[in-house]
Amino acid sequence: MKIQQTQQQILWQQLQEKALVNGEFQPAETLDSPWFIKLLLACSGWFASLFILGFFLLTLQDLVENSAVCLVVGSGMILMAYQMLKNKPSEFLEHLMLAFSLAGQALIAWAIFMIDNTVFSAFPWFAILIIQSSLSLIMPHYIHRVCSAFFASIALTICFHYLQLSAFTSASLLLLALFLVLNEWRSVKWQSTFEAISYGIILLLIPLKASYIIGYDLAYWLNETTLEQSWYYYLDELLLLFTMLYLIVTLMQRSQHYFPFNTKLAIIGATICLCLLSMQASGITIGFALLIVGFSNSNKVLQGLGITSLLFYISSYYYLLTLTLLEKSVILLMMGLFILAIRYALLKWLNPMQIHSDSSELSHKQLNPQQGDNDAI
């Protein structure tokens, strides 16, 4: 564990020099698995749960027609998974329980739809939203939380559709995800939960927004109106703008010592203009938000998701049929010139030397915690 230990020691020393750590340094034996191993586990859990579900549906053919039996069996499977996962079982059992729980959730969902007798109403989806939200908070397993948050986001999206609130879906999901990421260290106990839930929400949010470009049927169904010309579309984009402003203002508040009032105003103005200019290219605001919040927390996964979604949304702009290529060209020209103008202003009036002197002041404050503010947590 030499490389890992050396890295840990370097960071430990940095913290120790500023009296930010207590006790003796003890290297961690293991760190969290990388994101791609977690992804591998999540995918296999999903597939395995489908086969387990298939097994139950075939073996208990007569019983699954009874909603009460489905509810009991499904709840039993989730409870069993909860108990087993709480005791940190072996690798095999852990994955088996993950698949069991997912299959149990599917049985419960099946029972709810049987009770309501229709999938085309808000009630069953609202019930699923409540169950999945609770599971995302309760289940003692990271990947389970990501999956539950993902399913809860789907349920929320469909609930909003039946309540004629589709215009609020993207902004609500983005706002919730940003809130969780920005406040992940508010409670040490909940950090991992907040992180997992935010990933689950974002994993639904990116393809949901892409449906405005590649999945017209889904987007049309969700909005039940002609999308691009409707106020729904613009209200959605406007709410995303406000969510973006929440992010920018929060980040500036956390570093209020760095910027004078006029600079803050300029940053907010630039953000508003950028969001308004990119309004026609659906999803760009989400890509920006993910990239910025990922950078603010040194979260490489979020940055990667931000860059990928941004590239996807920008390139698919070409295929948007509601605008002519000439109109798109003019919008891009204005956007490009505006962005380069902001960059010019940034280099001219916010030069690093000036910033450096400001940051020295902050460093001084950090060395004297009594003077510093801890609002950023």
**Region 299-338 residues binding another protein, contact defined as CB under 8 A:** 299-300, 314, 318, 324-326, 328-330, 332-333, 335-337
8 binds another protein (CB under 8 A): yes
Interaction of residue 15 with another protein, rule CB under 8 A: yes
Of the candidates 2, 62, 260, 348, which one interacts with another protein according to CB under 8 A?
2
Q: How far is the CB of 143 from another protein (least distance, A)?
A: 11
Give yes or no for residue 191 binding another protein (CB under 8 A).
yes
Reading the block at residue 280, the tokens are 């026609």
Question: What angle, rounded to 10 degrees, do the helices at 191-210 and 122-138 form?
Answer: 140
Q: Which is nearer to another protein, 53 or 112 (CB)?
A: 53
Nearest approach in angstroms of CB 131 to another protein is: 22
Measured between alpha carbons, how far is 78 from 363 in angstroms, rounded to an integer? 49
Tokens 């902001």 correspond to 342
CB 45, min distance to another protein, A: 8
- Does the footprint of another protein cover residue 207 (CB under 8 A)? no
Site for another protein in 41-60 (CB under 8 A): 41, 43-45, 47-52, 54-55, 58-59
The tokens for 23 are 């006790």
Q: Exactly one of 296, 305, 312, 313 binds another protein (CB under 8 A); which one?
A: 296
Residue among 75 and 308 whose Cβ is closer to another protein: 308
Query: Nearer Cβ to another protein, position 147 or 291?
Result: 291
Cα–Cα distance between 132 and 78 in angstroms, integer?
12
Contact flags string 82-121 toward another protein, x per CB under 8 A: --------xxx-xxx--x----------------------
Q: Which stretch binds another protein (CB under 8 A): 16-24, 141-149, 214-222, 224-232?
A: 16-24
3-state secondary structure the chain: CHHHHHHHHHHHHHHHHCCCCCCCCCCCCCCCCCHHHHHHHHHHHHHHHHHHHHHHHHHCCCHHHCHHHHHHHHHHHHHHHHHHHHCCCCHHHHHHHHHHHHHHHHHHHHHHHHHHCCCCCHHHHHHHHHHHHHHHHHCCCHHHHHHHHHHHHHHHHHHHHHCCCHHHHHHHHHHHHHHHHHCCCCCCCCHHHHHHHHHHHHHHHHHHHHCCCCCHHHHHHHHCCCCCCCHHHHHHHHHHHHHHHHHHHHHHHHCCCCCCHHHHHHHHHHHHHHHHHCCCCCCHHHHHHHHHHHHHCCCHHHHHHHHHHHHHHHHHHHHCCCCCHHHHHHHHHHHHHHHHHHHHHHHHHCCHHHHHHHHHHHHHHHHCCCCCCCCCC
256 binds another protein (CB under 8 A): no
Cα 105 to chain centroid distance, Å, stands at: 22
User: Hey, which residues between 148 and 177 contact another protein (CB under 8 A)?
Assistant: none
269 touching another protein, by CB under 8 A: no
Residue 185 binds to another protein (criterion: CB under 8 A): yes
Among 163, 214, 265, 340, the residue binding another protein under the rule CB under 8 A is 340
> In angstroms, what is the minimal distance from the CB of 159 to another protein?
31
Q: How far is the CB of 149 from another protein (least distance, A)?
A: 19
Distance in Å, CB of 198 to another protein, minimum: 14
Nearest residue (CB) to another protein, 119 versus 330: 330
Q: Is 183 in the site for another protein (CB under 8 A)?
A: no
- In the bound complex, what is the minimum distance in angstroms from residue 153's beta carbon to another protein? 24
349 binding another protein? (CB under 8 A): no
